[in-house]
């Protein structure tokens, strides 16, 4: 069983092509029109006015309203625009998008895509809020995702030696876990599938069709490794073993940093923490189980739980920020869904890197995997024990 393979081929012609005009690339791109030479803000006030007129909920402060709808501050939004600007202006074959004689600015394209990801609303609903058609929302969103996937990867990488030392230092000072490098957890992205694709491989333990996302986060809940594309019917331990991260760790090519010495003169190698859904391994520490735990065991469990909850909170924050991952997706292309998930993780990290704060009323109150019971993996590596 292998993950869905992504494909960027076979783009369909837009249904509202009567309104959509595309300039085909040929030689050097044409000079940018005045509305694209500087940052466009008109779209924002038009969007906000529509929301106000329709009686939609939004903070009264303009800056907070912007974060409410797009999850980022305006400076962070402008930074994201700078990442994708070149692609959204000139990437063939689509060229510049022209709606009823007016070019869609890069800012408006990014806003449409981010609103679609942030709200999880239908393409028709998002299009109505921006005065464009459903097919335009679809095209713009996918162009944004392709560009971010290619150009923003540097926001989700395994830390270098210097950065990892800072992460380990923070885990030790905050949780009393020396040489801890991160926390691991996984969540289900729920979807509906057409009958022809409704394979039992994709039907999970809660009787939903879903795709898995596994994430490892650092001390700031930043994703430093993810794996997705695999069916939600798998066990957490299976998902881990199919990941590139597991392969690297088992080969001694990851979590292979300096060994620390404990107060009892024992070696402490680099490790991550996870719950009982994961196997106990030399580089993955799970809690002690049993009713009559010694005081040191109980103390370790308390510290381990506090640290591993970073993974749980990160996935909750991801799904609360980018609601497209928290709602039931209607018949998504399983080849494209991993790209959507990756870009949401990239945006999650960019918000952290930019030191933006998520508004409290955007946070989801429930666990990121509501309706799923905790698995218990009984696999124990003697070296891990």
Q: Looking at residue 106, what is its pLDDT?
A: 92
Q: Looking at residue 363, what is its pLDDT?
A: 72
Q: Looking at residue 361, what is its pLDDT?
A: 73
Cα separation, 276 vs 261, in Å, equals 26
Alpha helices in 277-353 (DSSP H): 295-321, 337-353
H or E, element range at 115: helix 106-119
Residues 344-356: pLDDT tens digits?
999 999 999 999 9
Residues 19-72: pLDDT tens digits?
333 233 334 444 444 444 456 788 999 999 888 887 777 788 999 999 999 999
Please state whether beta strands 271-273 and 284-285 pair in parallel, antiparallel, or not at all (unpaired).
parallel
Cα separation, 248 vs 64, in Å, equals 42
Which residue in 174, 177, 182, 180 sits closest to 157, CA to CA? Answer: 182
Q: pTM, whole model, 2 decimals? A: 0.86
354's tokens? 């930019």
Residues 6+ apart with CB under 8 A from 243: 214, 227
Residues 97-133: pLDDT tens digits?
555 556 788 999 999 999 999 999 999 999 999 998 9
Burial environment of residue 292 by CB neighbours within 10 A (0 to 12, 13 to 18, 19 or more): exposed
Q: Looking at residue 91, what is its pLDDT?
A: 58
Q: Nearest 5 degrees, angle CA 173-CA 176-CA 182?
A: 85
Which residues on neighbouring strands pair with residue 284, listed in sequence order?
272, 281
H or E, element range at 93: none
DSSP 186: E
Note whether 80 and 351 are within 8 A (CB): no
H or E, element range at 97: strand 97-99
Place of tokens 């501050």: 73
| Omega of the bond leading into 93 within 30 degrees of 0 (cis) | yes
Note whether 351 and 321 are within 8 A (CB): yes
């Amino acid at each position: 069983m292998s993950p869905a393979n992504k494909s960027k081929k076979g783009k369909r012609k837009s249904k509202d092509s009567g309104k959509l005009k595309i300039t085909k690339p040929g030689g050097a791109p044409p000079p940018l029109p005045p509305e694209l030479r500087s940052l466009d803000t008109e779209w924002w006030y038009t969007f906000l006015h529509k929301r106000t007129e329709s009686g939609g909920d939004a903070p009264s402060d303009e800056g907070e309203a912007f974060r409410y709808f797009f999850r980022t501050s305006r400076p962070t939004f402008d930074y994201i625009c700078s990442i994708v600007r070149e692609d959204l202006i000139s990437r063939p074959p689509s060229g510049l998008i022209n709606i009823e004689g007016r070019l869609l600015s890069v800012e408006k394209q990014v806003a449409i895509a981010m609103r679609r990801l942030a709200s999880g609303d239908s393409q028709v609903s998002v299009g109505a809020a921006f005065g464009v058609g459903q097919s335009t929302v679809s095209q713009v969103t996918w162009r944004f995702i392709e560009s971010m996937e290619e150009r923003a990867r540097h926001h989700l990488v395994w830390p270098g030696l210097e950065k990892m030392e800072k992460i380990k230092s923070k885990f030790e000072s905050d949780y009393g876990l020396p040489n801890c490098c991160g926390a691991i957890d996984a969540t289900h992205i729920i979807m509906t599938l057409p009958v022809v694709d409704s394979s039992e491989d994709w039907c999970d333990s809660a009787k939903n069709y879903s795709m898995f996302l596994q994430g490892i986060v650092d001390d700031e809940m930043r994703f430093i490794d993810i794996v997705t594309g695999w069916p939600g019917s798998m066990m957490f331990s299976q998902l881990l073993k199919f990941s590139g991260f597991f392969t690297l760790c088992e080969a001694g090519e990851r979590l292979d940093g300096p060994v620390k010495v404990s107060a009892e003169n024992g070696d402490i190698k680099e490790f991550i923490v996870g719950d009982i859904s994961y196997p106990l391994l030399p580089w993955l520490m799970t809690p002690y189980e049993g009713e009559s735990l010694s005081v040191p065991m109980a103390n370790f469990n308390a510290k381990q739980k506090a640290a591993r909850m970073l993974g749980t909170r990160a996935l909750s924050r991801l799904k609360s920020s980018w609601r497209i991952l928290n709602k039931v997706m209607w018949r998504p292309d399983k080849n494209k869904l991993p790209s959507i998930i990756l870009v949401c993780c990239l945006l999650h990290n960019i918000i952290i890197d930019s030191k933006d704060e998520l508004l409290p009323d955007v946070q989801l109150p429930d666990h990121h995997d509501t309706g799923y019971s905790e698995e218990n993996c009984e696999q124990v590596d003697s070296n891990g024990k």
